[in-house]
Chain A
Amino acid sequence: MCRTGGVPEPSGTGDEAAMDAAFTALLEDSAEELYESAPCGYLSTLMDGTIARINATLLNWLGLKREAVVGHRHFVDLLTVGGKLYHETHFAPLLRMQGELRGIALEMKTSHGGRLPVLVSSVIKHGSEGEPLLIRTTVFDASDRRAYEEELLRRRQDAERAHAEAERARAEAEQARRQAETDRERLADALAVLQKSLLPDSLPALPGLETAVYYHTASPDQLGGDFYDLFPIDGDRWAFFLGDVCGKGPQAAALTSLTRYTLRAAAHHDPEPDAALSTLNAVLHERYTAGGDPRYCTCLFGILEPGTDGRTTVRLGSGGHPPALLLRADGRAEFLPTPGGLLVGVLPTAPFATATTALAPGDTLLLYTDGLTEARTGPARDDLYGEEALLAFAAAHAPAAPHAVITALTELLEGFGDGPDDDTALLALGVPAPADPATNDPR
């Protein structure tokens, strides 16, 4: 504004005429007019809330007549019930304490029963003594802003709900996972109990004989297809067997169970190796192959008869199983050939090969399954350990007591690639070598 009064500009363009008109309007815009027609609501109340002044803008918004309001109504009378409660519990105390308050969201009632969302700011005017005199309040129409805020709030609540939903789903999944874990553990426990029924807890102590065993299952559910046993039959005679059923897992375990208990019962009835194996053959054939479900096993079955001369006689029968291995006291190693014996359970009747030997002090007899001879020794498919290598290994270790043999073979198996990847059973029986006076000193 840099007009200089009294000095008229040269009259001229229409633009200047419009500016003149606007300037005149500004000069004539009285304070009264500014108050009454302001683009926001104005009101002044006494400290008790009685409305003393209110501008035309707010009266228009609310559809109220000035004479019905001024001196008759309180500020809270303009508010909805929720707004009244909020005013009494928050707005009024804050205003009293702070002397000023800004941008509080409230709702006002209109005379037509509608609601007007507003933003309210108030300030207390104090007298010269500091005493509060009146409250000045401005009211902004916040319809659009409130709609936007409500949308924000709704979105936020939706997001919170979605989050809670996701949290619940996650908790349920976690619960299901825990349940599955529990089920799996229970199943593993049950399988372990079943598996125990397929093998002796521990080998019995045989007078004058030493025994050792190694057993490994490749399957994660611990159900192996290899089996062994050693038990007394009559007087001082003992029976033993070791074998391998076809297949793996629960079906193989069922076949193993039938095989073990059939051989145990058969041995008590007639312990001759070919008689026991024939009984097993008949039972398995009747149970499986004859019914259209061909299943079989390979097996070595033997009897131990301690003699009076410190030697123990071994009579062995084989149903299609790899030959037993002898580690002699004099350092020799040899297979005990049992050729020609058929797989047990394939045919209704079958011949079984038998062999006899004697274990002198220091001799050890080793029975094994093909988990040992077919153990993978290299990356190629046919890099298998084999019977020749086993014989050479035995020759290198003989003479060796049963525990020493099993320990050496265990180390051998664990040295192959990732360790044994097939079921493997090893059973070693031996007559202890004469005590070495140097190591058998009672002191």
Chain B
Amino acid sequence: MDVRRRNNVTVTGPADAPVLVLAHGFGCDQNMWRLVVPALAERYRVVLFDYVGSGGSDLSAWSQERYSSLDGYAQDVTEVCEALDLERAVFVGHSVSAMTGVLAARAAPERIGALVMVAPSPRYIDDEGYRGGFTAEDIDELLASLEANYLGWSSAMAPLIMGNPDRPELGKELTNSFCATDPDIARVFARTTFLSDSRDDLKDVTVPTLVLECAQDVIAPREVGAHVHAAIPSSHLVTLDATGHCPQLSAPEATAQAILGFLESRL
């Protein structure tokens, strides 16, 4: 099995530089990192990939069994690290991928030497003494939203490149599909993401960790960022003056600066 092809691995940046592995969350694919990659790749080797089932990955490698738990996604991470023979790489995970990184670092400590958790949440549903921001019914509603857009999905996938002369980096090929997922696969990923509870796994993090949260994030509110920071003694918390769940898109410069600052402080 060719993991590089399976996970649509792309690598940029100086060959002998320290390695950053950037992992997308639920929703889109590695193109989520497009606006921060240029700044990061000046001084770091940047590895991008798509989880099996997303973006340009090999859909034939997808199985409901494996990708119904976060361990399956963490296995993708460790297998990509093995395929590239990475040692002590910095893993940057967005959203649910922040927790995937925690699991991967525990499974392959020789591969992952530091974590950057972008808008992380170890549990999205409220629990006794814990506010994740959502109820179980809310998550059902999200699944219904996915269903509702299934029929109208093609219009969202259609090439919409026109009127973007100022963003030449958004090549035509990636507008087609970077947030398009097979509906059955998206449903499994959504369930796995939003029904997960990884709070107990946080205590196993021993590597230097940056928790990067947004000031206004409906998916991962500030309380959740504080919870993650408190649960990981080796962590450092940075709150970006940004709105939404995707600071790498809404505030790419600040996001890149925060990541670079963290990397430089520990080198």
Contact = CB atoms under 8 A, between A and B. Distances in A.
B136 to A, nearest CB: 11
A146 B148 CA distance: 8
A89 B27 contact: yes
Given A93-B32, A97-B34, A85 B151 contact: no
A230 to B, nearest CB: 66
B160 interface: yes
Given A48-B216, A96-B250, A119-B152, A126 B166 contact: yes
Q: Of residues A74, A90, A93, A150, which shows the largest number of chain B Cβ atoms within 10 Å of its Cβ? A: A93
**Residue among A49, A83, A85, A93 with max Cβ neighbours from chain B (10 Å):** A85
Contacts of B174: 97
A104 B179 CA distance: 13
A6 to B, nearest CB: 41
B126 interface: no
Report the interface size class on chain A.
Answer: 35 or more
B145 A107 contact: yes
Interface in A85-101: 85-86, 88-90, 92-94, 96-101
Interface of A: 47-49, 74, 76, 80-86, 88-90, 92-94, 96-107, 117, 119, 123, 126, 130, 146, 149-150, 152-153
B257 interface: no
Interface in B19-51: 25-28, 31-32, 34
A103 B152 CA distance: 7
Interface stretch (B61-69, B81-89, B228-236, B238-246): B238-246
Nearest to A157: B147
Nearest to B150: A153
12 contacts: A85-B134, A85-B141, A85-B218, A86-B146, A88-B218, A89-B245, A94-B179, A99-B164, A101-B160, A104-B156, A107-B148, A117-B148
Contacts, number: 136
A130 B166 contact: yes
Contact of A86 (B95, B134, B145, B166): B145
A3 B246 CA distance: 55
B142 A97 contact: no
Contact of B138 (A82, A103, A119): A82
A88 to B, nearest CB: 4
Contacts of B162: 100
Interface in B91-147: 95, 134, 138-147
Given A85-B138, A86-B149, A99-B160, 12 more contacts: A76-B218, A82-B141, A86-B145, A89-B25, A90-B149, A96-B246, A97-B175, A100-B160, A100-B164, A102-B155, A102-B156, A149-B148
A72 to B, nearest CB: 13
Given A89-B25, A97-B170, A105 B149 contact: yes
Contacts of A88: 27, 217-219, 244-246
B142 A81 contact: yes
B148 A49 contact: no
Q: Which 4 A-B pairs have the closest CB atoms?
A: A82-B141, A130-B166, A89-B27, A48-B243
B262 interface: no
Contacts of B59: none
B167 interface: yes
Contacts of A92: 244-246, 249-250
Contacts of A103: 152, 155-156
Contacts of B95: 89
A405 to B, nearest CB: 68
A99 B141 contact: no
Nearest to A81: B138
B152 to A, nearest CB: 5
B212 to A, nearest CB: 16
Nearest to B151: A149
B156 A85 contact: no
Interface string B245-257: 1100110000000
B161 interface: yes
B163 interface: yes
Contacts of A146: 148
Given A97-B31, A98-B161, A102-B155, A48 B244 contact: yes
Nearest to B119: A88
Nearest to A82: B141
Contacts of B194: 85
Nearest to A115: B141
Given A88-B244, A93-B32, A149-B151, A101 B145 contact: no
A429 B14 CA distance: 99
Contacts of B166: 126, 130
Given A82-B138, A82-B144, A146-B148, A74 B34 contact: no
Contacts of A90: 27-28, 149, 156, 179
Given A85-B219, A104-B156, A153-B151, A123 B163 contact: yes
A178 B77 CA distance: 44
Contacts of A126: 166
Nearest to B137: A81
A90 B95 CA distance: 13
Nearest to A119: B152
A84 B243 CA distance: 13
Contacts of A81: 134, 138, 141-142
Nearest to A92: B244
Contacts of B250: 47-48, 92, 96
A146 B32 CA distance: 30
Given A48-B244, A93-B249, A104-B156, A98 B175 contact: yes
Contacts of B163: 99-100, 123
Contacts of A105: 145, 148-149, 151-152
